[in-house]
Structure 1
Amino acid sequence: MLLLKLSATDLLTLDRRDRLVPHLAARWKRFRGPASQGEREAWAESLIELAKELVAAERGDVQMLVECLPTGADAPVDVMLVGRHPTSGADSFQLIELKRWSSVTRLEADAAEFIVPGMEEPKPHPAAQLSRFHDFLMGEKGPLRGLSVECGGFTYLHQTRDEAVQPLFGPDAPTGPCARCYTLDSREEMLRDLREQIAAEGSATVAERFLQRIGVRNSPLLEAMNNSRGEDTVFTLRGQQSRVAQDVRDAVTSVTGDPSTAPVLTDVRHDAVFIVTGGAGSGKSAIGLQLMAEFQAKGLSVQYASGSRAFNAAMQDHVGYGDRAFQSYFRYFSSYITPPEPRLDVLICDEAHRLRERSTNPRPWMPQGTQPQVDDLLDAARVTVFLLDAGQSVRPKEVGTVQLIEEAAGRRGIRPARYRLQEQFRCGGSETFRNWVHALLGLSQEKPYAWRPDGLMHVEMADSPEELERIVRTEYHAGASARMVAGYSWPWNKPVGPEKHLEDDVRIGSWHRPWNADSKSGCANGVPPSRLWGVRDEGFDQLGCVYTSQGLEWDWCGVIVGEDMVWRNNRWVFQRGKAKRENGLLRIVTPGSHDPKVIASTVDEESFKACVRNAYHVLFTRASRAVVVHSSDPDTQTYLKTLVGKVEIQGLRPTWLNLPEVARRRRPPRQRKKNQSAKKNGQLGLF
């Protein structure tokens, strides 16, 4: 859990915009339930006081991690200050408890507890909680284990004097690196100690490293796989991810080996089925790819199936698999019309929400599916893992649901093991952003509300498509990964002529840009085929859609909202468009969606709305640091600007220049394809 990451200066700016407490309350509700009035008042008073003191100590750029609770800790700490030690240069952490206590009285029955006016229960010495958190951080399972860092802490009672809380300073008070207590009387001493413990500069770099260590910042999928080539460990799985992965490992051991060597998690004799659900960025693919690496290293027969050609093509191109090697391990759902013989040990089905009713083969002379596609997949392996998110189903004929899989497994006498992932690893680890997008698009019970910056994810509006392109292009040329995407609100013409020239289909005023190539091969001027648009440098100048961006992510993403979804009379209105041919090219007649699969007359209105909502959900959640938004509809643009607000906090804008060096992930070069006959330890080293 992490409610907020901001510098002291930016936190004060956020408070002046009246967004601090609402943001913290929304985050608290997600983790702990509704925030009490006392909690709201504490945030409004104590956090502001601490931020002001940091500014007074000339430490306004020091990062404040508010209500930080890494996995494994028993309770959060009010604030963590992170930075560099001014003398040693080591990473420095200060743990802070903020108390609004006016006075304390020692409890006679227990010298370690204190009576605080206004509180029903006795309270322990605040240094005791800080000490436990300190011991966790530095202990065997803590994120700072084995590191050479400076770590201490203190309590700040900012509304009282030494005399009123004298029992806290008694001879039997806790000792150690977190034992210090400051009041109004010792404020100057506290400011001096802050200057001695944390330098004025370098905090952002230390904060970024710490967020990576506690799993808030995760490497993008393709980068993680690229960096771990030849190794069995692709991802560090955390929390729920670890539990799911271990259960799958146990089941695979039971099914493929001696059943007595591992617990059987299902009530089946031979086969096992796992269903893992979770929103975009919840870590589903990380589980699947990590398990595949492990099982492949053990010599098990394992394959990874997906419903996304863009994801598979990006995997092959970016990470550098040879064609034969890739096809041996990465397949499509439609690849199992004829089941493998013998059956696979494990089949991992990513993006299972994209399952179709039946498998079809584009070559009519080849075998065609005769049963539900989900049955093809269950026939293919002894252990099948389905990873899905209903919120990313973007076509009417995508039928993958938990119910569908459970019913198919039930017909075989299998009771699947079900899991739901709640944590957020994409979009900078910002659940604030995920919840905001859900409310914005009507995918949750909440009504749309103003965006509240949290220091993890950045949102801004562009006044024009030219401005959107300028912002995203600037970051791309600086070294960040970036793409521009749009709703399917413009016709998509095939490449023109023998040279396969792309038409500028997306037109907003005088600004014209082409869609990514609608072809299986490259086009004029080095434009890559559609399946490689998201990873080839030559793809930046084209706009992607939901089908070519699903499963991918970039540092910055420009999202153009078209007229398939417009804001009218305080609600979203979804429109089907019409086009006609002019000189051989499709041109808009009626604004709206031009996705032929979605606007078909066979698609009812509710299904149409769901597909459009889910498509924008996918587009909005492709960025890991910043999303820039523009709507081609004036009324919608005005509405979105009222929600997002102006970019006033420059320190929050994660431009390449603003990012600390440790957070700058330059686009890695494409890998050469491996020699198809290359082996490592008797197996092909995929990762």
Structure 2
Amino acid sequence: MFEQAAPAHDGDTGFDPGTTPRPAGRVACVASGRAGELAARLEDPSFVARCAARYAVVGFGVPGEAEVRSWRNSWPPVLRALVRAGLSDVWVYLEYGTPGGGRRLDALVVGAAPGGVLGLVVVELKQWQTCRVLDAERVLRGDGVVTAHPVFQVAAYRSFFDHWRPESAPELDVRAVVVLHNATVEEAAVLRAGAGAVADIPVLSGADLAAPAKDLAGLLRCQDLSAPDPTDVRAFEEIRWEPSVRLLDHVGTVLEGHSAFALVGDQQDAFVRIRAAAARHLPGRAPAGSSGVEGRGGAGAVITVRGGPGSGKTALAVRLLGRLMLDHPTARPRFLTPSGTLRAHLLDAVRTHGAARELFPSIASVRSAARQAGALIIDEAQRVKRGGTDGLPRDLAEVLARVPLAVVFLDERQVIRPDEGTSVEEIRDAARRLGRTHHHLELTGSFRCAGSAAYTAWVDDLLYGAPRPWRGQDTYRLGLAADPFHLQRWVEQATAAGHSARITAGFCWPWTRNRPRGAATLPLDITIDTPAGPGTPARTWRAAWNAATALTHPDDGRPLAPHNQLWATHTGGHQQIGCIYTAQGLEYQHSGVIIGPDLTWTHGRWTAHPQESHDETLRHLPADQYLRYALNIYRVLLTRGTHTTRIHSTDPHTHHHLTQLLHPPTT
């Protein structure tokens, strides 16, 4: 459910084969060296263990057992093949992390190519054998897991080097190859036949790796490569990768033309004012006729934008990124968010261009982004982790200190965990201490919830103030569901009619993360007992949380449920239940909300019951501390629907309280 990606940071070009890993250079990887040297190092039983240690040092996180096992199984065949092909002296990086932090390549070969250019071969290594091609982007493995087509995957990696090389960098000749060292020729041919538009990327089998030495270099796309000089390797490692103007134009145009990011009202006013500030602080052309917040030339600026649910923060942030790419390409703009779900949707929006991923780095690489970017947009900034320190979170402090233009979007009432949270005041004070110009903008409109300021105000009064009756005074539709069966039928009917509809719930039931490989169903972790009613027996409603990984039919590969980060928008998501971590920052037309037993209306006030939570970050808090986060969580869930919200509380007294508010007695 939570994003686990830990992208690369600037770090290491390899390590001393003797003892302790040593950081050096500008490349993040677990090992590097001549192919023959690396093949020899693999004979040392401690080599892979040191690579695992290096994996953490350079910022990739902690490798799992399966990852380390794949190194032991996959590195020897490809390195032996390079040596046998007479390529012992080409340079190889193992687990190469792209400088933007968006990708890790299994192996990258660097050699001297004809004409004085550097030849690069991106190598994708797979241990599996059988698979069935579902389409040009997905395959169904023999163990029932759906994964990216490796040719599609490695083509996206290749595009990074094509679209991020600055003109001043050495010229590169970039190739790619997929190696299935356990597969037969026939099994590899299945993938090769389904490669579609990237048929220039070969798919090699174990038998191909056993080809005569005179043919092997060609199969590996290295036939014209020779040993690079140390100066060549150094020149490659010193490249400061930047997105090309062509890439920025493409992504900027896509984002500007995306209907989900249209701007109206005070969003448009804020957009104009921020562009004016960008014109003063960033290289590039100024927007014609613009006026707005005042700046101080090269001093740098920090702009905070605060707004409640549905005020259009994300739409504005994304449109701003697109415009900065078009107006100020040399500022290398980037978009960061602590929400893995929101980031997944943005990557999905630009997925047709594989090299765009680096423009949306993971929040884990915020410091690397701060060193590289001239303009940085941070959305959902209230969720940046504080890191156990007082004052501004370290990551935000790094951004404010380094980036010429930082635009920070936040809503203090959407802090949902105790290790999160920052405020406009904290950012303002930090900017002033750093001598940076600070400007603040408020988004007061409501563009979700049918534009109903009355509904969002009703939610805030319900949770934080004096609850008041809902009298249906505008176009937004609010109702109660007697039980979750009613919610389920309502969502299914709306989906069948072509509308987007989802159910979310408080995290009050267990969440089984691992399901058997190839399973076509999810565990029904959510169980709610409903009492007997007029004409209906007592029943138990069962449902599944949204899938941790995409759920696909094991026979024909039909999508059954999307990955949880795409649950709110992709086909099949309506059949699972979402939570705060997969709903925050997103919207859908019809929203069903289940208020669980962690929050009840008792003796005229909200009472928190942390023991009812299954969120390990919250359930051990004292009740008064948990209450703050519970109220914020349900505020988020109650404000996802653009047209309609229906609510069900599992607590009878709370449900009665809501009934009184939605259907007040007449006098």
In 2: Cα distance, 1:559 partner to 1:412 partner: 43
In 2: Cα distance, 1:241 partner to 1:539 partner: 30
Secondary structure, in 3 states, of the residue corresponding to 2:378? Answer: strand
Structure 1 pair 522/596, CA: closer, same or farther in 2 (3 Å)? farther
Give the match for residue 422 of structure 2.
400
Which residue identity does 1:534 align to in structure 2? A
Which residue identity does 1:325 align to in structure 2? A
Structure 1 pair 279/230, CA: closer, same or farther in 2 (3 Å)? closer
Q: How many residues align?
A: 394
Indicate conservation of the 8 Å contact 1:468/1:628, yes or no: yes
Q: CA deviation at 1:543?
A: 0.3
Which residue identity does 1:329 align to in structure 2? L
Is residue 328 of structure 1 aligned with residue 361 of structure 2? no
Structure 1 pair 505/253, CA: closer, same or farther in 2 (3 Å)? same
Q: CA deviation at 1:463?
A: 0.9
Is residue 288 of structure 1 aligned with residue 317 of structure 2? yes
Give the match for residue 565 of structure 1.
599
2:277 aligned to 251, 256, 273, which one?
A: 251
Q: CA deviation at 1:268?
A: 6.7
Give the match for residue 409 of structure 1.
431
Indicate conservation of the 8 Å contact 2:252/2:322, yes or no: no
Q: CA deviation at 1:346?
A: 1.5
Structure 1 pair 520/392, CA: closer, same or farther in 2 (3 Å)? farther
Is residue 276 of structure 1 aligned with residue 302 of structure 2? no
Post-superposition CA distance 1:84-105 (Å, at most 9, x none): xxxxxxxxxxxxxxxxxxxxxx
Q: CA deviation at 1:236?
A: 5.0
2:614 aligned to 594, 606, 616, which one?
A: 594
Structure 1 pair 264/547, CA: closer, same or farther in 2 (3 Å)? closer
Structure 1 pair 380/426, CA: closer, same or farther in 2 (3 Å)? farther
Is residue 504 of structure 1 aligned with residue 524 of structure 2? yes
Identity %: 30
Give the match for residue 82 of structure 1.
none
In 2: Cα distance, 1:339 partner to 1:303 partner: 7
In 1: Cα distance, 2:396 partner to 2:595 partner: 34
**1:51-450 superposed matches below 5 A:** 229=254, 231=256, 235-257=261-283, 265-267=294-296, 269-300=298-329, 301-317=332-348, 319-322=349-352, 324-339=354-369, 343-358=372-387, 372-379=394-401, 381-442=403-464, 445=465, 447-450=466-469
**1:2-17 superposed matches below 5 A:** none
Structure 1 pair 595/606, CA: closer, same or farther in 2 (3 Å)? same
In 1: Cα distance, 2:553 partner to 2:599 partner: 31
Indicate conservation of the 8 Å contact 1:630/1:637, yes or no: yes
Secondary structure, in 3 states, of the residue corresponding to 2:404? Answer: strand
TM-score (normalised: structure 1): 0.53
Structure 1 pair 387/405, CA: closer, same or farther in 2 (3 Å)? same
Indicate conservation of the 8 Å contact 1:233/1:294, yes or no: no
In 2: Cα distance, 1:246 partner to 1:294 partner: 11
Structure 1 pair 238/605, CA: closer, same or farther in 2 (3 Å)? same
1:464 aligned to 483, 507, 519, which one?
A: 483
Deviates more, 1:236-245 or 1:465-474: 236-245
Q: CA deviation at 1:530?
A: 1.6
Q: CA deviation at 1:358?
A: 4.0
Give the match for residue 663 of structure 2.
645
Secondary structure, in 3 states, of the residue corresponding to 2:354? Answer: helix
Indicate conservation of the 8 Å contact 2:491/2:574, yes or no: no
Q: CA deviation at 1:378?
A: 2.7
In 2: Cα distance, 1:626 partner to 1:646 partner: 19
Indicate conservation of the 8 Å contact 1:275/1:418, yes or no: yes
Secondary structure, in 3 states, of the residue corresponding to 1:556? Answer: strand
In 1: Cα distance, 2:399 partner to 2:551 partner: 29
In 2: Cα distance, 1:440 partner to 1:536 partner: 31
Structure 1 pair 309/260, CA: closer, same or farther in 2 (3 Å)? closer
Post-superposition CA distance 1:275-295 (Å, at most 9, x none): 011101112122212211212
Q: CA deviation at 1:231?
A: 5.0
Secondary structure, in 3 states, of the residue corresponding to 1:537? Answer: coil
Q: CA deviation at 1:520?
A: 7.9
Is residue 531 of structure 1 aligned with residue 565 of structure 2? yes
Indicate conservation of the 8 Å contact 1:273/1:416, yes or no: yes
Secondary structure, in 3 states, of the residue corresponding to 1:407? Answer: helix
Which residue identity does 1:596 align to in structure 2? E
Is residue 546 of structure 1 aligned with residue 577 of structure 2? no
In 2: Cα distance, 1:494 partner to 1:460 partner: 32
Structure 1 pair 530/379, CA: closer, same or farther in 2 (3 Å)? farther
Secondary structure, in 3 states, of the residue corresponding to 1:540? Answer: helix
Structure 1 pair 302/339, CA: closer, same or farther in 2 (3 Å)? closer
Indicate conservation of the 8 Å contact 1:495/1:523, yes or no: no
Secondary structure, in 3 states, of the residue corresponding to 1:249? Answer: helix
Indicate conservation of the 8 Å contact 1:460/1:647, yes or no: no
Structure 1 pair 523/617, CA: closer, same or farther in 2 (3 Å)? farther
Indicate conservation of the 8 Å contact 1:339/1:376, yes or no: no
Secondary structure, in 3 states, of the residue corresponding to 2:593? Answer: strand
Post-superposition CA distance 1:320-356 (Å, at most 9, x none): 5247333232223222232465x42321111111111
In 2: Cα distance, 1:333 partner to 1:462 partner: 38
Indicate conservation of the 8 Å contact 1:495/1:519, yes or no: no
Which residue identity does 1:629 align to in structure 2? I
In 2: Cα distance, 1:359 partner to 1:576 partner: 22
TM-score (normalised: structure 2): 0.55
Which residue identity does 1:271 align to in structure 2? G
In 1: Cα distance, 2:496 partner to 2:401 partner: 48
Is residue 575 of structure 1 aligned with residue 609 of structure 2? yes
Q: CA deviation at 1:471?
A: 1.1
Structure 1 pair 565/263, CA: closer, same or farther in 2 (3 Å)? closer
Deviates more, 1:237-246 or 1:296-305: 237-246
Q: CA RMSD in A?
A: 3.2
In 1: Cα distance, 2:286 partner to 2:548 partner: 53
Structure 1 pair 331/448, CA: closer, same or farther in 2 (3 Å)? same
Post-superposition CA distance 1:638-675 (Å, at most 9, x none): 11111112999xxxxxxxxxxxxxxxxxxxxxxxxxxx
Structure 1 pair 432/540, CA: closer, same or farther in 2 (3 Å)? same
Q: CA deviation at 1:266?
A: 3.6
Structure 1 pair 281/230, CA: closer, same or farther in 2 (3 Å)? closer
Q: RCO (CA 8 Å, sep 6+): is it higher in 1 or 2?
A: 1
Secondary structure, in 3 states, of the residue corresponding to 1:348? Answer: strand
Deviates more, 1:636-645 or 1:321-330: 321-330
Which residue identity does 1:477 align to in structure 2? A
Structure 1 pair 440/469, CA: closer, same or farther in 2 (3 Å)? same
Which residue identity does 2:571 align to in structure 1? D
Q: CA deviation at 1:522?
A: 6.8
Q: CA deviation at 1:637?
A: 1.3
Indicate conservation of the 8 Å contact 2:543/2:577, yes or no: yes
Structure 1 pair 512/245, CA: closer, same or farther in 2 (3 Å)? same
Structure 1 pair 332/323, CA: closer, same or farther in 2 (3 Å)? farther
In 2: Cα distance, 1:246 partner to 1:253 partner: 11
Secondary structure, in 3 states, of the residue corresponding to 1:526? Answer: strand
Indicate conservation of the 8 Å contact 2:547/2:563, yes or no: yes
Q: CA deviation at 1:479?
A: 0.5
Indicate conservation of the 8 Å contact 1:460/1:628, yes or no: yes
In 1: Cα distance, 2:641 partner to 2:360 partner: 25
